[in-house]
Amino acid sequence: MDRAQKEKLVEELGQIFESSGVVVVSHYEGITVAEMQDLRARMREAGGSVRVAKNRLAKIALEGQPCASIAEFLEGMTVLAYSEDPVAAAKVVNDYSKDNDKLVILGGAMGDNALDVAGVKAVAAMPSREELIASIVGCIAAPASNIAGAIGAPASNVASILSTIEEKAAA
C-alpha cells in the first residue's frame, strides 16, 4: 500500500469515526472467510458495516475524533463494526459473538462515551431506533383511541339508561 492509498484510507476511517453513532472493536482471530462474510451480511441487514483496517492507520484516523478512546483497543487482529444507529452495530456484534467464540468484543465508543465490554452489551440490550419509533407511535395513538372510546361511551350509556326507564314504565 503506497502513501496515497494510506492517506485515503485514513481519511475514510476518519469519516467513519465522525459519522457513526456507535463503533465496536473486536478481535477476530481464527474467524474463517465465510464467517466474516456472514458477519458482514448481518451488519448490512442492520444498516451497519464492518471494516478491517491496519491498527496504526486507524489510530491516526482517530486523532481528534469524538471516539478517540477506542485507540486503546486497537491491538492485534481487530475488526471495526459501526453504524449510524447508536444500537445496531452493538446488537449485531453482541449476537454474533454469542454464536461464534472467535469474535471477542473488546470495547467501543458511542460518540464521546467510551464503552467497555459491559457497556457494549448494555447498548446492545437497548431498543433499536425502529423499536423506539414504534413505541412512541403506540403512545401517541393510545390517547386517540381512548378519546374515541370515551366519546362513543356516553351515547351507549344514555341508550342503556333510556331502555331501562322504558322497561320500568311498561311494567
pLDDT tens profile 119-149: 889 888 887 777 777 878 777 766 666 666 6
Partners of 104 in the beta sheet? Answer: 27
Q: pLDDT tier at 39 (50, 70, 90 boundaries)?
A: very high
Q: 3-state class of 48 per DSSP?
A: strand
DSSP sequence for 77-141: SEEEEEESSTTHHHHHHHHHHHH-TT-EEEEEEETTEEE-HHHHHHHHHSPPHHHHHHHHHHHHH
Say if residues 69 and 110 touch (Cβ distance below 8 Å). no
The number of residues in the chain equals 171
Partners of 78 in the beta sheet? Answer: 27
Average model confidence (pLDDT) across the chain:
85
